[in-house]
Amino acid sequence: MKVHTPEIAWHNRDPIYSLDFQYRNGTVHKLASAGVDKAIRLWEVKRDEEGRGYVEFLANLIRHSRPVNVVRFCPTGNILASAGDESVIFLWRQKDQDDGCNPFRDDEEESENKEFWTCYKMLRGHLEDIYDLSWSRDGTCIASASVDNSAILWNIERGEKLAIFSEHKSFVQGVAWDPCNQFVATLSTDRICRVYNISTKKVVHRISKFVTNIPQPDGTTNKKVSRMFHDDSMGSFVRRLTFTPDGKLMLTPAGCVEMDDKTVNSSYIFTRTSLSKPVAHLPGPQKPTVAIRCCPVYFDLRKAKNGESELTKPVFDLPYRIVFAVATEDSVLFYDTQQTVPFALISNIHYHRLSDLAWSEDGSILMISSTDGYCTFVTFDPDELGTPSSQQPKVANQKIEETPPANEKPEIETTNQKSPEPVVVNGNQEGTANRQPAAVPKANPIQVRSAGGSNGARRIAFTTLTSSSKPSQSSSSPPCAPSTHPVPVPTNQTAEPA
């Protein structure tokens, strides 16, 4: 792993709010970035002889008149969606040559363009700023989240709204589209995560509170009801949740767990069959988590150290391993689905808050954006994250406007319902009945080294969990060693993608 933050004026040194890679089944890594300067810029990401990342400018897309908060390529890669403070979604596609017909073009800004893109459609429906976008797996629909307290599902081919979700009472800062086309999840500053059924357009899960068992000196336990997510005082303007590429898990940032007399920042893991309550939470460093992105490559399960043929039993019952990155306000943690402790941590790489993450199609590059106006390259050597798996999952793909089965009823949480109870880290709380502890490879806890000196120089503090030394743990940081339980994940309800 190599971490590099080049001094490039990505957007005239203005804050960068979002970035995303294009997936086109090729060797060219095309990256889109956007931010306060109202422009979208396309870059070709390359690696030098030492394996460090660098970029070459491709195009400057000029159409927005206000800051751009999010850019997302569709899964097929031929369309780029962007949205920002104008409350409008812009859809872009590439042209073979410049026809000179764009009335919004800026000859000075676009004179160096190597590619030519045009905004061919605009989707209007939100009343305020749009903070997040998420495409359907087939690239025909998109979901948007806005500070007007709503999320909208769009059919981009017809330019029509499929549904407007207005149940949230505050800003909607994150949205995720289920790869199986069954659910859309939203996360808001009202401290609620809602999961909607795409077919019925109804709320099926309302996630906001859980009950924890607090042990007492006399051996008894007291139950405490706690909020699961941070309120609007968190500071970040995004809460970018995601589904794993196979649709088996949902990962949400901005979590908080009250333990004893302190609050631990966390991220939650939900399985497809347990979207009403988390099966585990991942405690983070001192700052809240703001975004989660999954590597698109599936990896073989990690082998145990004490035997070449013996496989380490994964936490989730999957025949492969999924790697995902969790961004806090000032650091990035790397996890996989085989264990619940992070295997790497990158910190102290930017002066201001982190805003977004993006993986390249082959999983060899992770890009990190920040509001300080810079981006960081994290590059991986071949097989450094693992051996790509030959077992590619078959993702069930329900038609978006298909009528659900008659026996399917929305599960709407009411105030009288018992709040779900997640797996608590380093606590005495039990998970699902009859679970056995998983044989997860032991790893040293993360050590966060201080970076930089009195002169404010930028340094990188990176510590893997394979270090032979025994690191010390700061008393001010919450422990990153959650209890592990095997979690069954359904694999029999799959079909060929449509």
Following DSSP, what letter does each residue of 314-332 receive, concatenated? PSB--SSEEEEEEEESSEE
The pLDDT > 70 percentage for the chain reads 75
> Can you tell me the mean pLDDT for 144-163?
98
Q: Which residue has the higher pLDDT, 415 or 309?
A: 309
pLDDT by residue (tens digit) across 84-134?
A: 999 999 999 999 876 665 555 555 666 689 999 999 999 999 999 999 999
Q: Which parts of 260-336 are beta strand (E)? A: 262-271, 280-283, 289-299, 321-328, 331-336
Domains of the chain: 2-464 (2.130.10.10)
Whether this prediction's pTM lies above 0.75 is answered by yes
pLDDT over threshold 50, residue 419: no
SS3 content of the chain, % helix, strand, coil (to 5): 0, 45, 55
Q: What's the CA gap between 198 and 429, in Å, rounded?
A: 34
Give me the pLDDT at residue 298, please. Answer: 97
Q: What phi and psi values does residue 84 have, to the nearest 5 degrees? A: -165, -140
Give me the pLDDT at residue 311, please. Answer: 62
Range name among 3-12, 83-92, 135-144, 393-402 with the lowest pLDDT average: 393-402
pLDDT by residue (tens digit) across 360-398?
A: 999 999 999 999 999 999 999 999 999 999 888 888 777
Query: What is the chain's length?
Result: 498
Q: Are 187 and 239 in contact (CB under 8 A)?
A: yes
pLDDT over threshold 70, residue 472: no
Q: Which residue has the higher pLDDT, 220 or 294?
A: 294
Give me the pLDDT at residue 35, please. Answer: 98
Give me the pLDDT at residue 395, please. Answer: 82
pLDDT over threshold 50, residue 445: no
Residue 425: C-alpha distances to residues 156, 230, 252 (Å): 43, 18, 17
Q: What's the CA gap between 437 and 312, in Å, rounded?
A: 12
Give me the pLDDT at residue 251, please. Answer: 98
Q: What's the CA gap between 19 and 208, in Å, rounded?
A: 29
pLDDT over threshold 70, residue 66: yes
